[in-house]
């Protein structure tokens, strides 16, 4: 959720959400001729564990609903997901899921460009996908932030596919 002025690295891959909110360089915010493309009250961030100061300030300023790993540890994935789904259900026509694979702990998903320890377990992530499937509110999804060059024997890619399958309703039995 960085903008050019707050990004320590200047990497554009950390700016899409801010740009979608209409913040940042006009070359990004003005794509398709209008901005913003999303409202802060239509966003829920889940699983944060490493935020730049500018991102923290922006999240607070815009009042974006956020569940860090602290809340997931304290309340559990079921409560976090149920609250998130309920929060968005009345505000939107459907949920767009953007799952950054670097939300998972690097031990679970090593093939990412920005690994940070203390992330979601695969089981927590799969359970979240199962709950989203049951809620039947997801209208689009993207699974991003994978880097095959950094992966170990396709471990991250395989887990991404399994998470997609769970989102689409695949069950053990």
pLDDT of residue 31 exceeding 90, the answer is yes
pLDDT of residue 173 exceeding 90, the answer is no
pTM for this model (two decimals): 0.95
pLDDT of residue 13 exceeding 90, the answer is no
State whether residue 52 is helix, strand or coil.
coil
Q: What is the pLDDT of residue 68?
A: 98
Q: What is the pLDDT of residues 50-67, one digit of tens each?
A: 999 999 999 999 999 999
When pLDDT is averaged across residues 153-168 and rounded to a whole number, the result is 97
State whether residue 40 is helix, strand or coil.
helix
The residues, any chain, with a CB within 8 Å of residue 45's CB and separated by 6 or more, are 59, 64, 65, 66, 67
Q: What is the DSSP letter of 35?
A: S
**What confidence category does residue 172 fall into, taking pLDDT thresholds of 50, 70 and 90?**
confident
Q: What is the pLDDT of residue 35?
A: 96
Q: What is the pLDDT of residue 15?
A: 93
* C-alpha distance from residue 167 to each of 31, 86, 127 (Å): 29, 17, 9
Q: Mean pLDDT across the chain, nearest whole number?
A: 96
Q: Which of 121, 43, 30, 118 is nearest to 77 (CA)?
A: 121
Residue 111 structure tokens: 């093939």
Domains of the chain in start order, with CATH, are 1-38 (no CATH), 47-167 (3.40.800.10)
* N- to C-terminal Cα separation, the chain: 39
Q: What is the pLDDT of residues 107-117, one digit of tens each?
A: 999 999 999 99
Q: What does 89-140 look like in DSSP terms, one character per residue? A: HTT-SSEEEEEEGGGB-TTT----SS--SS-B-HHHHHHHHHHHHHHT-EEE
When pLDDT is averaged across residues 36-51 and rounded to a whole number, the result is 97
Residue 133 structure tokens: 């499937």
Cβ–Cβ under 8 Å, residues 108 and 151: no
Q: ∠ CA 77-72-136 to the nearest 5 degrees?
A: 30
């Amino acid at each position: 959720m960085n903008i050019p002025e707050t990004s320590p690295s200047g990497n554009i891959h950390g700016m899409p959400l801010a740009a979608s909110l209409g913040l940042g360089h006009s070359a990004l915010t003005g794509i398709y001729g209008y901005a913003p493309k999303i409202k802060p009250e239509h966003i829920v961030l889940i699983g944060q564990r490493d935020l730049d100061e500018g991102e923290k300030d922006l999240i607070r300023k815009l009042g974006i609903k956020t569940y860090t790993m602290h809340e997931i540890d304290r309340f559990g994935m079921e409560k976090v997901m149920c609250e998130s789904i309920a929060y968005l259900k009345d505000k939107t026509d459907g949920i767009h899921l953007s799952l950054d694979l670097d939300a998972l702990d690097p031990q679970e998903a090593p093939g990412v460009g920005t690994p940070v320890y203390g992330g979601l377990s695969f089981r927590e992530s799969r359970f979240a996908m199962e709950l989203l499937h049951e809620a039947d509110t997801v209208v689009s999804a993207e699974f991003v932030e994978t880097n095959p060059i950094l992966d170990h024997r396709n471990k991250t890619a395989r887990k991404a596919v399994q998470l997609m399958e769970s989102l689409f309703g695949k069950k053990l039995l």
